[in-house]
Structure 1
């Protein structure tokens, strides 16, 4: 069966489900927008929140409205989405102020509450943006989680194209794509995404699995952006160095999906014929399984385990032994104060620690003065550009970069997947599957 046949079959299936979903939705409040025809579909959305002590569940299923296809945009049928959570909790910008956390955790697991709230917001014209109560759609509230962009690591097929697009637009219905996480992209693991502009869509070659493509828009892209930032620093260090043969020492912290991507891209980027002796790479592993996984793949890279059972001084000494002294650059995806403090202790005077922009918002106020006193620098790394995502897709599709291992799970098993991720029971990445088209 071709992708086009599969897409048509899915459309028929979703059409038959639409009436049932509309009835369930309208039982709790009628949307004026739906009456006017502005909403022509409902779809399911999986919202993954931070595991915490206040609630037993951290995965919620909702029925959410899907708008018309934008005139110059597209609607994407999501086939795969990267499943993530993070330990550090922070309040979402769209949290509902009228509910306390305990009440919110209890009510958000009830689809009737979600449907009623959505309908009320639709009637008030406030769906998808803040209103006078600083509320948005309830599936985007509470403690938000899922790596850098919750539910934005998606890959699928084009379900429909805008009415103002010409046949020469470069895309076709049924085409395989992944989504660049642009500002304003809806949060949550939704089975349909409405994309306002085709420039945010990245074509996926036939020889690249869609489940792999779903890992590229944030994890692999941020890793690429980090390596390119490190490359500029390395070039400057080589220019200033009195010893042209002295290699620059690079330390990568963490072996989660993000750090594993960084390790692979760093090896592809630096271990070339011309530069293999100019950079020494060491990985500081935060988990045993991550360390063992990476050890078997790379012969020219040093590894050191950052076991939380050891004293801080022991960990620093162990790292310096593995790196043969202080390092010049650290790419730190540990996202904690302790990890960044340790990275600074392993860094040369004048050295640079690269951290994600999101982490920088939390950690820079705490560490800027300390780094300045040590004549060190902490630099935020941006997510990366659309052009860089195109390049990541090309490199992975051409087998120039091997993706980290991943396991696919049905979207209905999202709660169990998060439980396993919390206990480090899934090696590599976990991918949620919404539709079966391959």
Structure 2
């Protein structure tokens, strides 16, 4: 196919953030025989950390930026490797290239020649893309999938901007909550009918807010036995967390000493907690999480940062009879379940803001200054 389409490339911000977004034309990709070509409507603005080439990050800027300032603090404390200096113009953004468009929602534009007429999908269907291994890179107007099994239909009750938040951050949060469930069950079984389990969710970016909503739904029939506390670093996240039902919230004000923050958290949780879901996951946040965790407790972290953090904390956790569990991206079956729960209104998505793809440069500037509440979504086409 000789037609061209627009593609946006978002790279590591320079000192003035004026040379990190590029727009150019690329050939429209051919449709795979057994797959489909998707007209991208919305894509989540995401990035990948460059500190370790072996770590492939799929976290959104808003999912992790709540703890972006901890990197420099880790360096100052001697608990993290030195990073390239950052300009004050983008103090809110970690050093890294924005991730190449895995959070994609759009419309089926064409089907492959070997796709049978009775297949589940047809041209015009609204879909979200599961982030399979080898998914094409780039914020482009069109993206292809080799097989239809990587697509999930989106009901009319979900906007495509919300759908674009589901395949990575929300899916990772769901898998983490599900992984924690077996530990919750064991704790409650051991403590009897009157026993309880305490969970601490660290961070108030997209990942943590998704985890809060998913956990709230998952344990709705066990509210009297499962308590959830959110540890928030930013004032904005503090307010967002409090808007969702009545959960305990403790603010991790970095102006305080570690001992004060740990004691503040224990007071809010009425003692140490049994399970921590840590989406801040810097050396400092994980160290603090372990201090708030009871003996025999477990911390869940994303597998994308486990390679860096486990060597530093595994022995310490073992000494306290604690466990650090890495969590991978969820399955496509979980993505289908997530789509259904959001579509029926059983789980409410966190806040998000939609911007035209042409404003990608301005979006990056706003993200760097922490001026966007919730997720940032780029829109390529005006489709509902």
- Shared fold, TM over 0.5: yes
Change (3 A) 1:317 1:227: same
Q: Tell me the distance in 1 between the aligned counterparts of 2:287 and 2:206.
A: 22
1:196 matched to which residue of 2?
146
Q: Does 2:348 match 1:402?
A: yes
Q: Does 2:19 match 1:57?
A: yes
| Greater Cα radius of gyration, structure 1 or 2 | 1
Change (3 A) 1:233 1:185: same
Q: Tell me the distance in 2 between the aligned counterparts of 1:385 and 1:416.
A: 34
Q: Does 2:289 match 1:343?
A: yes
Count matched residues.
345
Q: Tell me the distance in 2 between the aligned counterparts of 1:55 and 1:433.
A: 21
Q: Deviations over 1:91-128 (max 9, x none)?
A: 6579xxxxxxxxxxxxxxxxxxxxxxxxxxxxxxxxxx
* CA positional deviation for 1:169: 0.8
1:109 matched to which residue of 2?
none
1:317 matched to which residue of 2?
263
**1:392 pairs with 338, 341, 358, which one?**
338
Tell me how large the CA RMSD over aligned residues is.
1.9
Contact 2:233–2:252 (8 Å) recurs in 1: yes
Deviates further, 232-241 or 61-70: 61-70
Q: Tell me the distance in 1 between the aligned counterparts of 2:97 and 2:190.
A: 42
**2:30 pairs with 44, 68, 79, which one?**
68
Q: Tell me the distance in 1 between the aligned counterparts of 2:121 and 2:379.
A: 23
* CA positional deviation for 1:65: 3.3
* CA positional deviation for 1:55: 6.7
Q: Deviations over 1:143-184 (max 9, x none)?
A: 7544xx541111000110000011111111111000000000
Q: Does 2:248 match 1:286?
A: no
Q: Does 2:197 match 1:248?
A: yes
2:372 matched to which residue of 1?
426
2:133 matched to which residue of 1?
183
Q: Does 2:361 match 1:415?
A: yes
Alignment of 1:89-168 (within 5 A): 89-90=50-51, 145-146=97-98, 150-168=100-118
Q: Tell me the distance in 2 between the aligned counterparts of 1:315 and 1:60.
A: 42
Contact 1:411–1:432 (8 Å) recurs in 2: yes
Q: Tell me the distance in 2 between the aligned counterparts of 1:277 and 1:223.
A: 22
Q: Tell me the distance in 1 between the aligned counterparts of 2:17 and 2:357.
A: 21
Q: Tell me the distance in 2 between the aligned counterparts of 1:49 and 1:92.
A: 15
Deviates further, 359-368 or 339-348: 359-368
Q: Tell me the distance in 1 between the aligned counterparts of 2:158 and 2:189.
A: 39
Q: Which has the higher contact order (CA 8 A, sep 6+)?
A: 2
Change (3 A) 1:413 1:302: same
Dislocated runs of 4+, deviation >6 Å: none
Q: Tell me the distance in 2 between the aligned counterparts of 1:350 and 1:57.
A: 49
Q: Tell me the distance in 2 between the aligned counterparts of 1:354 and 1:322.
A: 20
**2:167 pairs with 206, 209, 217, which one?**
217
1:29 matched to which residue of 2?
none
Contact 1:408–1:432 (8 Å) recurs in 2: yes
**1:358 pairs with 304, 308, 312, which one?**
304
Tell me the TM-score normalized by structure 1. 0.75
Tell me the TM-score normalized by structure 2. 0.86
- Structure 1 portions without partners, runs of 5+: 1-38, 95-142
Contact 2:13–2:19 (8 Å) recurs in 1: yes
Contact 1:332–1:354 (8 Å) recurs in 2: yes
Contact 2:8–2:138 (8 Å) recurs in 1: yes
Q: Tell me the distance in 2 between the aligned counterparts of 1:376 and 1:60.
A: 46
Contact 2:29–2:142 (8 Å) recurs in 1: no
* CA positional deviation for 1:67: 2.9
Q: Tell me the distance in 2 between the aligned counterparts of 1:259 and 1:52.
A: 29
2:220 matched to which residue of 1?
271
* CA positional deviation for 1:187: 2.2
* CA positional deviation for 1:46: 1.9
